Amino acid sequence: MVNVNQNGSNNSNKFVTQTNDCSEITQDGKINSLVNSENLKLFLKIYHQNICGLEFKIDELLASLHPDLPDILCIAEHHLSSIQIQLISPEEYSIGAEFCRQSFHKGGVCMYIHKRFSFSVINIARHCKEKDLEACALKLKLSSINVCIITVYRSPSGNFQCFLNGLENILKKVYKSGIHLIICGDININYLNESKEKNELNNLLNSYNLVSIIHFPTRITSNSKTTIDNIFLDSTKFVNFVTSSLSNGLSDHDAQMLEIYTPKLNCKRVNYKVRIIRKIDSYSIMEFKDKLSEELWQTIFDNTNKDANDIF
């Protein structure tokens, strides 16, 4: 594994890249294939983060990823209702699949898909339970293969056995011989340490040939470093890939980026054009009025001798 930052210098806290055993990364961040002499092409780019509330962060999130936007945004803990999530629609993306809580606050998972992709939603709601296993899934048709992406969240207070049983039922539902599986999410199991929960989860995932590919901390505090966010895939089907850790300040969880390369499949990427605008509609106007009504204006009233325009 080689640690590099976005400028190519050594800095494991800023940017971490790694590949499987079939490729390597040079010090300047370039990928060299050890099994194929052809130049590798970027096939699919997937972003995952526990965002700790998406509603007021979507513009800043996209700005932090500009100009090379991911193909898929997998978000854990969006904290939105099913109505609210439909109102957040980045210009280049469609809402792909989502799970929203109804009984408890916060939580939830969703996926945004770039509009150039065709996809179908896989209904797995019956296997989900708030806090224990919150998940959504979709299937992409890419060139000659089908890719199934599952985004999951398990609360720290969730029942682990319910999580494991629910995930097993989901895998039984979506798994087929021609499907390429990718699972990403915040599972609140620290993969930097050995544990009974980690072993049981690995036993289940390994039966579908899925392995963890995140080996760096995803949540760093003043007194701990843990890998509780993860990405799992079948490394025998996805031969060349790179994972990286991105810190954008939007959450206490760092993001993970998965870039899948292929010398055989040609999924043409387009040059993205990003335009960030302030969305004004009946919902945003009502929200603005509501926040305006909560303002106390104490700073203005306490400075009667000054021009109000000079206070700001």
pLDDT in tens, 65-118: 988 999 999 999 999 999 999 998 888 999 999 999 999 999 999 999 999 999
Only one residue has tokens 């003043």, namely 222
Predicted TM-score (pTM) of this structure = 0.76
Contact 243, 256 (CB under 8 A): yes
Nearest CA-CA partner of 276 in 132, 77, 38, 67: 67
CA–CA dist 16, 302 (Å, integer)? 50
CA–CA dist 70, 4 (Å, integer)? 20
| Confidence at residue 247, expressed as pLDDT on a 0 to 100 scale | 94
| Confidence at residue 144, expressed as pLDDT on a 0 to 100 scale | 75
**Confidence label for 312 from pLDDT (cuts 50, 70 and 90):** low
% of the chain beyond a pLDDT of 70: 78
- For residue 260, is pLDDT > 50? yes
Task: Name the phi and psi angles at 218, rounded to 5.
Answer: -115, -10
Domain locations along the chain: 2-262, 282-311
| Confidence at residue 128, expressed as pLDDT on a 0 to 100 scale | 98
| Confidence at residue 97, expressed as pLDDT on a 0 to 100 scale | 96
| Confidence at residue 25, expressed as pLDDT on a 0 to 100 scale | 42
- For residue 202, is pLDDT > 70? yes
Label residue 38 left, alpha or beta by phi (over 0 means left) and psi (-120 to 50 means alpha): beta
**Confidence label for 266 from pLDDT (cuts 50, 70 and 90):** very low
Provide the residue count of the chain: 312
% of the chain beyond a pLDDT of 90: 62
Average pLDDT over residues 226-243: 92
Q: Is the dihedral of CA 82, 83, 84, 90 positive or negative?
A: positive
- For residue 188, is pLDDT > 80? yes
CA–CA dist 304, 312 (Å, integer)? 14
Other CB atoms within 10 Å distance of the CB of residue 159: 15
**Confidence label for 292 from pLDDT (cuts 50, 70 and 90):** confident
| Confidence at residue 289, expressed as pLDDT on a 0 to 100 scale | 81
Asked which of 121-125, 209-213, 225-229, 304-308 is least confident by mean pLDDT, the reply is 304-308
Domain 2-262 class in CATH: alpha beta
**HEC per residue, the chain:** CEECCCCCCCCCCCCEEECCCCEEECCCCCEEECCCCCCCEEEEEEEEEECCCCCCCHHHHHHHHCCCCCCEEEEECCCCCHHHHHHCCCCCEEEEEEECCCCCCCCCEEEEEECCCCEEEECCHHHCECCCEEEEEEEEEECCEEEEEEEEECCCCCCHHHHHHHHHHHHHHHCCCCEEEEEEEECCCCCCCCCHHHHHHHHHHHCCCCEECCCCCCEECCCCEECCEEEEECCCCCCEEEEEEECCCCCCCCEEEEEEEECCCCCCCCCCCCCCCCCCCHHHHHHHHHHHHCCCCHHHHCCCCCCHHHHC
Beta bridge partners of 93: 114
Nearest CA-CA partner of 98 in 56, 135, 47, 140: 135
Average pLDDT over residues 163-188: 95
| Confidence at residue 38, expressed as pLDDT on a 0 to 100 scale | 53
Q: Taking all residues of the chain, what is their mean pLDDT, rounded to a whole number?
A: 83
- For residue 133, is pLDDT > 50? yes
CA–CA dist 212, 282 (Å, integer)? 44
Highest mean pLDDT, choosing among 190-194, 267-271, 293-297: 190-194
Asked which of 71-80, 227-236, 274-283 is least confident by mean pLDDT, the reply is 274-283
| Confidence at residue 145, expressed as pLDDT on a 0 to 100 scale | 85
| Confidence at residue 1, expressed as pLDDT on a 0 to 100 scale | 32
- Token reading at 137: 């899934």
